[in-house]
Amino acid sequence: ELNLDSFAAYNLRRQYHKMEEVIEMVKEKEMPLESYTWIHKDAKLTDAQRAILTGWSEGIIKAMQQKYPIDSLVRKK
């Protein structure tokens, strides 16, 4: 689940992980959920829309990596 209304309140590690999940789910055609598209036929994403959404998510990750390298988000033991 990704709630964009509260995304900014997530810690950085969770934000990064959520963007990775978006990319994976879009590429695997798991998003939007099939149960949702049964009712909302126009919610199915085209390949072009999938590319835009994936590119957007990758852009968010790249921006985060520039400011906060992923190794800086690893919990210290």
Residue 2 lies in a domain: no
Residue 39 lies in a domain: yes
Helices (DSSP H) in the chain: which residue ranges? Answer: 12-27, 34-39, 47-67
Total structural domains in the chain?
Answer: 1
Does pTM surpass 0.75? yes
Residue 56 lies in a domain: yes
Query: 3-class SS at 70?
Result: helix
Q: Is the peptide bond before 32 cis (omega within 30 degrees of 0)?
A: yes
- Greater model confidence, 70 or 5: 5
Residue 1 lies in a domain: no
Residue 68 lies in a domain: yes
Place of tokens 């149960």: 35
pLDDT in tens, 28-51: 999 888 899 999 999 999 999 999
As a whole number of angstroms, the distance between CA 75 and CA 4 comes to 24
Query: Residue 39 belongs to what domain range?
Result: 7-73
